[in-house]
Amino acid sequence: MKLIFLSLILFSPFFANAESILIRNVNILESTGIEENVSILIKNGIIKSIDSLIFTEATEEIDGTGKTVTAGLFNGKTHIGAVEVGAIDSTVDYHTNNGSITASFKPSESFNPHSTLIPHNRTHGLTQALLVPEAETHMIAGQVAVIELGNTPKVLNDSFGVAIDFTEHGVSIMGGSRSSALAKLRVALDDAKDFSRNRKSALAGEHRAYDLSYADLYALQPVVEGVKPIIVRVHRSVDILSIINLAKEFQLDLILSGVAEGWMVAEQIAESKSSVIMDPIYNLPTAFEHLGARLDNASILHEKGVQLIFTGMGWHNTHSAYLVRQSAGNAVANGLPKTASIAAITSNPAEIFKLNYSGNIREGEVANLVLWSGDPFELTTEAEMVIIAGEKVEMISRSLQLRDRYYESIKSFIENESRGK
Amino acid sequence: MHNIILKVWLSALILFLFGCEAKQSDLIKRVAPNQDPFPSTYQIKSHDPFMIVNTSILDGVGNLLKNTDLLIENGKIKEIGVGLPTKNYRLVNGSNFWVTPGLIDVHSHMGVYPAPGTSNHSDGNEMTSPVTAEVWAEHSVWPGDPQFEKALAGGVTTLLILPGSGNLIGGRGVTLKNVPSITVQGMKFPNAPYSLKMACGENPKRVYGNRNMLPSTRMGNMAGYRKAWIKAKEYKKSWDEYLAEDSEIPLSEKPIRDLRMETLSGVLEGEIKVHNHCYRADEMVQMIDMSKEFGYKISAFHHTVEGYKIAPILAKEGICAVMWADWWGFKQEAYDMVRENIALTDYAGACAIIHSDDAIQVQRLNQEIAKAMSAGNRMGLNISPAHALRWLTSNAARSLGLEEKIGSIEIGKNADIVLWNGDPFSTYTKASKVWIDGTLLYDIDKPDLTRTADFNLGIIAPGEKRP
């Protein structure tokens, strides 16, 4: 009877709020430094105290010796919730082949909280991410969303900013020249400005014609007013400068994305105060726009004072978006300080995308953190406990269910084999 | 101008009518076609013997040897032991370093899909017919691909370069040494068996289904392979009969050479190793049945996302499974991924191998096995690093038919060696030095040791370290 009652307390959702977790003697890695051998008490989803010794009892006590706590991981460029199987178009909602929809395209409206990608990623420590549209018929790809991967996955911000593609791909769909793409982008921004000043007459049909639809101009309005950022994907050093200049010209709030040749113009990026979303693992000249790609790009940008947000690893930035920590680890292996690298997957995105958590481990904050079996930058380290927005994540995924189903049959095969011998 | 063309035509006509070509009735000796028309020109460079002293060796066959010395002479591993006499050998400090065999990537498209990845460089998939066993990947390889040197910096010394998976039977793969060379012949692994790329599932049926031709279904795939094997058996029979006797015969009775059939015949002969792209468990078992129907052996299944579902079958059949640590979801046949795939396949006793199929991950295959090992250990499989390294070395060598030469630190093996500046399973660790056949080809501190790809001139300054 006592056992039943205990399991009710531990596993019943009704008692979830009364839960307290004490992690003893653990290391904390965060943007502000590394704290060793402290204890963390989490009560009702809030970080109650962080101290060298805590005497309070808790419903769950964990020996954290040799383990590390970080804030929950953030990936700065994913399609989570807007794709299930890449090659099956009916499951893909993060781009559109309808050329008449640009800035008004909102993948957040397609966000599927039941996607199997979400439990897979959150059990490995990914807690929040950016859901980014991709350009298909126009370089203005649509609106970027902030999502959360908790037990009840949700969109935190359905329109953080507008994504624009000025890579070779974006250029190829805008007349095939960098100059044509920039010309079209200027037209769109000018139109959005004009529209915001003359909306009434425009909607009444008494104003000039525009290149984009009214819905798209509506969506661009906060951008030209400097209220929301543009997130521009761009790689070549000279193209990065073109975009920085364009943002200056139109007084836009700019976030750069991609930026494989960022190190070549690191000072100008730093001076522009734009933060950068990048994958630090990319170092191949697979396109003429990033012949300068190198593994210490992140570390060079950091040295110049550029605020970094990581994505990756490689093209696994959606189905295995949690692998952003592998990219972050490789940034450390190539000269980036550990604290700067953890900042790029926790506190920097928390600050820039205005999360409810600091992305550091702080008393009084809602717990949004991961307990790692060791150094989170090591790939022999696993996420042991994940808390998202104060709630402990169930460590279940489709992948783990498949594993367990077949493990049994392999075990009995091995037992039969050894009996046979 | 017209005169010249006329003259050329006339001389061609004269040659045709009166040339010294053999007549159909002439008697000829029975000879098999040359099986090595593009021979390797790779030469082991001479080097002074040297010794890596007091190091930690993960030998690739399951052992960790601590505080051990390693003597390299004439491109081979000469001695392994504790406290070996150093004589006059050049010494390489091995303490605080780790040694592994050169890494082997059995699934790469470098050279056939080089960087920059522009359409002019797209040479990996001859998608003009579902069966193109006649094409050879080595004829597409661009040795100047700047990606090769990046893989070398990651410790990769041997690569199987395969055609893509757009076709049912995509053509011959080639095993290369990761050495700088102007020609592909200069990279070819001397006397390595050839391989044949086959592909199951979605890719071939999508490519040809879109053109409204066979195969547009998985059953169409099977019919396509089987038709090819039936023809290949007949072809092989006609050549076998022709070569069985010594007597001279009229030229007219010589079987007509068919490159497509010649490659398939080489598989039936057991000379060419089958590397079969196949994700789904049920399709792999269909392929195994088909191999028995026609009497050939599958060396390895590649990608094998569902390998864990039939791991005991793979173990029993002695077929290697070549896998990623965690790729999934890019298509339906890659949906049932488990991170424990490699560990579970290995646990069942099958030959488990990791591959990159990717010029980014080929640079960090040590990290990929770290993830695969960690996933297995999380479920309690107790895999040691020394054991996990087999997935990247000796097991890989086995699938290429090169287990006698590479894939382990054992006396007599080729001196393909990586000296790591720390635990090879750590993210922070990098290859410090890489030798192939005892020749130092990469040194992290000497960017000019081997010349960078021609393509990089004007991009990377001389002596510049560009990681």
CA dihedral B112, A289, A168, A174 (to 10 degrees): -150
User: For residue A414, which residues of chain B lie inside 8 Å, CB to CB?
Assistant: 347-349
Q: How far apart are CA B56 and CA B54, in angstroms?
A: 7
Q: Which amino acid is at B350?
A: A
The predicted model gives B423-443 an average pLDDT of 98
What tens digit of pLDDT does each residue of B197-213 get? Answer: 999 999 999 999 999 99
Count Cβ neighbours within 10 Å for each residue of A253-286 and write b for 16 or more, e otherwise: bbbbbbbbbbbbbbebbbebebbbbbbbbbbbbb
Residue B448 lies in a domain: no
Best mutation target, B428, B454, B464, B465, to test chain A (most A CBs within 10 A): B428
Q: Residue B11's pLDDT is what?
A: 52
- Domain-located, residue B40: no
Which CATH class for the A74-359 domain?
A: alpha beta
What is the DSSP-derived secondary structure letter of residue A96? -
pLDDT at A11 over 60: no
Size of interface A-B (CB pairs under 8 A): 135
B-facing residues of A in 62-91 (CB < 8 A) are: 83-88
Reference B273, options B307, B216, B322, B310; nearest CA is: B322
Measure the CA–CA gap between A35 and B233, rounded to whole angstroms: 69
Note whether B327 contacts A316, CB cutoff 8 Å.
yes
Tokens of B444: 């992290």
CB contact under 8 A, B427 and A326: yes
Residue A399: CB partners within 8 Å, gap ≥ 6?
A120, B328, B337, B338, B339
The CATH number assigned to the domain holding B403 equals 3.20.20.140
| One-letter-per-residue 3-state SS of B349-399 | CCCEEECCCCCCHHHHHHHHHHHHHHHHHHCCCCCCHHHHHHHHCHHHHHH
C-alpha to C-alpha distances, B59 to A399, B56, B390, B431, nearest whole angstrom: 32, 9, 9, 16
Contacts of B448 (CB under 8 A, 6+ apart): B462, B463
Residue A38 has pLDDT above 80, yes or no: yes
* A79, A264, A334, A379, best to mutate vs chain B, most B CBs in 10 Å: A379
| Residue of chain B nearest A381, judged by CA positions | B374
Q: Do A320 and B363 touch (CB under 8 A)?
A: no
Residue given tokens 């000249």 in the structure block: A285
Inter-chain contact A413–B364, Cβ cutoff 8 Å?
no
Residue B156 amino acid letter: V
Is residue B107, in this structure, part of any structural domain at all?
Answer: yes
CA distances from B130 to A339, B171, B276 (A): 52, 10, 15
Contact of A417 with chain B, judged by CB distance below 8 Å, is answered with yes
- B3 within a domain of the structure (yes/no): no
Extents of the domains making up chain A: 74-359
Task: Please answer whether residues B186 and B148 qualify as being in contact, where contact means their C-beta atoms are separated by less than 8 angstroms.
Answer: no
Calculate the average pLDDT of chain B. 95
Range in B22-26, B111-115, B416-420 with the lowest mean pLDDT: B22-26
Residue window 315-334, chain A: list those with CB within 8 Å of chain B.
Answer: 316, 318-320, 323, 326, 329-330, 332-334
Mean pLDDT of A197-212: 94
Cβ–Cβ under 8 Å, residues A21 and A60: yes
C-beta separation of A216 from A103 below 8 A: yes
Question: Are the C-beta atoms of residues B156 and B102 closer than 8 Å to each other?
Answer: yes
Torsional class of B113: left (φ above 0), alpha (ψ -120 to 50), beta (otherwise): beta
Question: In the structure, how many helices (H) and strands (E) does chain B have?
Answer: 11, 18
| Mean local confidence (pLDDT), B426-454 | 96
Which secondary structure element, helix H or strand E, spans residue B231, and what is its range?
helix B218-244
Kindly state the average pLDDT of the residues B2-27. 59
ipTM: 0.94
pLDDT at A19: 84
Q: What is the DSSP string of B295-334?
A: T--EEEEEE-TTGGGGHHHHHHHT-EEEE-SS---SSGGG
Closest-CA residue in chain A for B466? A294
CA distance A412 to B346: 15
- pLDDT for B4: 53
Structure tokens at A380: 């022999």
Decide if B106 is inside a domain.
yes
Q: For A314-346, what is each residue's pLDDT tens digit? A: 999 999 999 999 999 999 999 999 999 999 999
CA distances in angstroms from A355 to A111, A325, A389, B173, B187, listed in the order given: 18, 19, 10, 50, 53
d(CA B204, CA B165): 7
Half-sphere exposure of A149 (CA within 13 A, CB side): 36
The shortest C-alpha distance from B167 to chain A (Å) reads 18
Nearest chain A CA: its distance from B427 CA (Å) = 5
Q: Percentage of chain A surpassing pLDDT 70?
A: 95
Q: Which residue has the tokens 């020249």?
A: A177
Q: For B428, which of A88, A333, A400 is closest by C-beta distance?
A: A333
| Local structure of A387: helix, strand or coil | strand
Identify whether the C-beta of residue B176 lies closer than 8 Å to the C-beta of residue B103: no
The yes-or-no verdict on residue B149 having pLDDT over 90 is yes
Strands across the sheet with A126-131, in order? A73-78, A126-131, A140-148, A154-165, A230-234, A254-258, A275-278, A308-310
pLDDT of residue A405: 96
Q: Which residues contact B136 (CB under 8 A, 6 or more apart)?
A: B38, B171, B172, B174
pLDDT of residue A5 exceeding 50, the answer is no
Query: Is the model's pLDDT at B442 over the cut of 90?
Result: yes
Q: Domain count for chain B, please give it.
A: 1
- The alpha carbon of residue B406 is apart from the nearest alpha carbon of chain A, in Å, by 27
Taking CA–CA distances from A292, the nearest residue in chain B reads B459
What are the distances in angstroms from CA B186 to CA A51, A308, B142, B163, B176?
A: 63, 43, 12, 19, 9
- Note the pLDDT tens digit of each residue in A290-321: 999 999 999 999 999 999 999 999 999 999 99
Please determine, for residue B58, whether its predicted confidence score (pLDDT) is greater than 70.
Answer: yes
Q: A68: exposed, middle or buried (C-beta count within 10 Å: 0-12, 13-18, 19+)?
A: buried
Residue B195's nearest CA partner among B158, B233, B163 is: B163
- Which residues does chain B have within 8 Å of residue A85's beta carbon, measured at their own beta carbons? 329-332, 335
Q: What is the pLDDT of residue B25?
A: 84
Instruction: Count Cβ atoms within 10 A of the Cβ of residue B121 and give its class: 0-12 exposed, 13-18 middle, 19 or more buried.
Output: middle
pLDDT score at A18: 65
In a domain, B273, yes or no: yes
CA–CA gap between residue A240 and residue B374 (Å, rounded):
39
Backbone angles phi, psi at A348, to 5 degrees: -60, -50
- Residues of B in Cβ contact (< 8 Å) with A284: 115, 146-147, 150, 359-360
State how far the Cα of A142 lies from the Cα of A161, in Å rounded to an integer.
8
The Cβ-side half-sphere exposure at A332, using a 13 Å CA radius, reads 23
Q: How many CB atoms lie within 10 A of CB A97?
A: 8
Specify the pLDDT at position A7. 44
Summary mean pLDDT of chain A: 95
Residue-level pLDDT at A418: 82
For the segment B130-135, the average pLDDT, to the nearest whole number, is 98
Residue B200: domain span: 102-407
| Contact between chains at A326 and B367 (C-beta distance less than 8 A) | yes
Q: Which residues lie below 8 Å from residue A421, measured CB to CB, with a gap of 6+?
A: none
pLDDT bracket for residue B324 (50, 70, 90): very high
